[in-house]
Amino acid sequence: GERSEKIRTYNFPQNRVTDHRINLTLYNLEDVLEGELDEIIDKLILKESEAYEGNGGTERGEKDT
């Protein structure tokens, strides 16, 4: 894919992981690689919830009739 389609960047020298979908940067790369994903998952859920509410409560933004 193109560079703009990146989901996550892992920067080992800086001990940094960035999730580009939610603009989240963490400085605990080793923990993330060992499966400590709670903070990332929580932020992804929050973003999805906000998008859902912003679309009138439906997945695709269609209004219920």
Alpha carbon 9 to its chain's center: 12
pTM: 0.71
- pLDDT tens, 6-64? 899 999 999 999 999 999 999 999 999 999 999 999 999 999 999 888 877 776 655 55
pLDDT above 60 for 4: yes
Alpha carbon 11 to its chain's center: 17
Q: Give ∠ CA 4-59-37 in degrees, rounded to 5.
A: 55
- Beta strand 24-26 with 16-19 is antiparallel
